[in-house]
């Protein structure tokens, strides 16, 4: 175990339709971010000496980013899909058993300027997700 | 195996060196990094900045190289209008150029980011000057 670079990260996607779709890497991406923060309910009562909270369910949402590549349209196909696909986010493929995975809806956008056009997308969970230890989040 | 980025420099310099009109205007040659002693009317190429774009899986996805390309001339042998003509010839060759470069199957493109114009006092004879005219050019090379 060591701290590894994100240079060998990956974003894999399996379309939701047709069922049994093939998992493939979304190429030309160079960033992803996932957020599992929970909402907290304030349950502070008379007599408490500090505020007290109870967590709700963790969120599962995040973003993807990279460069526009006309050979890679997965992100834009996913953005208009009515059935969620399976997203698999790996920090470093040299530790291929450590990843987050689950059903997700994805949107997509493109930012085209005089520099290299960039693509990005946001995702939100559409079902249960598993974490890097294989457990449900 | 990574691509040989030196091929990018060689392609740009080669394009300039192969142009008879530019050679006629700047007969002391096109030089990268350094110029031989005695040269008074030449084209100078320098790499200002080089950055790579990386992606997951593909590693280096593209290179962006910024070159300063200037026609340089000593006032003892060249006039302002002649240096201006040389700078225009450089721009004609490089602006929107699409080059075939060995090891870069997608080719490369070049565009000017801005122009360069300055007058430098000669170190040995302060009554003389060096003209520098040209531009900063950005080369985009998909890997």
pLDDT tens, residue by residue, A21-70 = 899 999 999 999 999 999 999 999 999 999 999 999 999 999 999 999 99
pLDDT band at A137 (very low <50, low <70, confident <90, very high): confident
In a domain, A2, yes or no: no
Q: State the pLDDT at residue B119.
A: 96
Mean pLDDT rounded to a whole number for chain A: 94
Question: Smallest Cβ distance to A30: which of B54, B64, B140?
Answer: B54
| % chain A with pLDDT above 70 | 99
Cβ of A7 and B59 within 8 Å?
Answer: yes
- Whether pLDDT at B44 is above 80: yes
Neighbours of A6 (CB within 10 A): 12
Is domain B6-33+41-142 given the CATH code 3.30.2000.30 in the classification? Answer: yes
pLDDT band at B9 (very low <50, low <70, confident <90, very high): very high
In a domain, A3, yes or no: no
Q: State the pLDDT at residue B47.
A: 98
Which residue in this structure is represented by tokens 């721009």?
A: B91
Q: How many independent structural domains does chain A possess?
A: 1
A11 to chain B: nearest residue by CA? B56
Residues in A closer than 8 angstroms to B57, CB to CB, are: 8, 10, 25, 27, 93
- Whether pLDDT at A111 is above 90: yes
Residues 6+ apart with CB under 8 A from B54: A7, A30, B60, B61
- Whether pLDDT at A110 is above 90: yes
Q: State the pLDDT at residue B20.
A: 98
CA-based diameter of chain B, in Å?
58
Q: State the pLDDT at residue A21.
A: 83
Where are chain B's structural domains?
6-33+41-142
State whether residue A53 sits within 8 Å of chain B by CB. Answer: no
A26 to chain B: nearest residue by CA? B56
Q: State the pLDDT at residue A64.
A: 98
- Whether pLDDT at B125 is above 80: yes
Pick from A28, A64, A71, A75 the residue to mutate for testing the B interface (most B CBs within 10 Å): A28
- Asked whether B68 and B87 are in contact (CB, 8 A), the reply is no
Chain A nearest-CA distance from B89, in A, is 24
Could you list the residue range(s) of the whole structural domain that residue A15 is in?
9-38+50-130
The mean pLDDT value for B29-56 works out to 96
Pick from A10, A27, A65, A118 the residue to mutate for testing the B interface (most B CBs within 10 Å): A27
State the distance between the two ends of chain A, measured CA to CA, in whole angstroms: 22
In a domain, A22, yes or no: yes
Chain centroid to CA B127: how far? 28
Summarize pLDDT for B53-100 with one digit per residue, the tens: 999 988 899 999 999 999 999 999 999 999 999 999 999 999 999 999
Q: Which string of DSSP letters, residue by residue, matches A15-49?
A: -SSSTTPPPEE-TTEEEEEEE--EEEEE---TT-S
CA–CA separation, B32 vs B45, rounded Å? 5
**Nearest partner of A86 among A9, A13, A10, judged by Cα:** A13
Q: State the pLDDT at residue A20.
A: 75
CATH code: domain of residue A24 = 2.30.110.20
**Nearest partner of A110 among A34, A28, A35, judged by Cα:** A28
Chain A nearest-CA distance from B120, in A, is 33
In a domain, A115, yes or no: yes
In a domain, A4, yes or no: no
Q: State the pLDDT at residue A124.
A: 98
Residues in B closer than 8 angstroms to A71, CB to CB, are: none
- Asked whether A50 and A39 are in contact (CB, 8 A), the reply is no
Supply φ then ψ for residue B48, to 5 degrees: -85, -40
The length of chain A, given as a count of residues: 137
Q: Model's pTM, two decimal places?
A: 0.86
């Amino acid at each position: 175990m060591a701290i590894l670079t994100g240079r060998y990260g990956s974003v894999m996607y399996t379309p939701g339709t047709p069922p049994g779709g093939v998992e493939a890497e979304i190429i030309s991406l160079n960033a992803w971010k996932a957020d599992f923060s929970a909402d907290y309910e304030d349950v502070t009562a008379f007599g408490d000496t500090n505020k007290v909270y109870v967590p709700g369910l963790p969120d599962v949402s995040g973003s993807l980013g990279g460069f526009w590549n006309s050979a890679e349209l997965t992100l834009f196909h996913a953005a208009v899909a009515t059935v969620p696909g399976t997203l698999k986010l790996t920090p470093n493929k040299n530790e291929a058993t450590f990843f987050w995975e689950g059903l997700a809806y994805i949107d997509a956008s493109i930012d085209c300027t005089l520099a290299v056009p960039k693509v990005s997308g946001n995702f939100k969970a559409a079902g249960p997700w598993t974490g890097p230890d294989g457990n449900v989040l | 195996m990574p691509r040989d980025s030196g091929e990018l420099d060689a392609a740009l310099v080669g394009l300039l060196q192969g142009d008879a009109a530019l050679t006629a205007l700047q007969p002391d040659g096109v030089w990268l990094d350094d110029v031989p002693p005695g040269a008074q009317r030449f084209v100078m190429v320098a790499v200002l900045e080089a950055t790579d774009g990386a992606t997951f899986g593909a590693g280096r996805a593209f290179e962006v190289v910024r070159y300063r390309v200037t026609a340089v001339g000593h006032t003892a042998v060249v006039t302002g209008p002649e240096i201006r003509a040389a700078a225009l010839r450089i721009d004609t060759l490089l602006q929107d150029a699409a080059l075939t470069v060995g090891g870069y199957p997608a080719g490369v493109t070049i565009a000017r980011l801005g122009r360069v114009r300055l007058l430098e006092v000669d170190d040995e004879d302060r009554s003389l000057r060096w003209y520098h005219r040209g531009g900063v050019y950005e080369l985009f090379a998909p890997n």
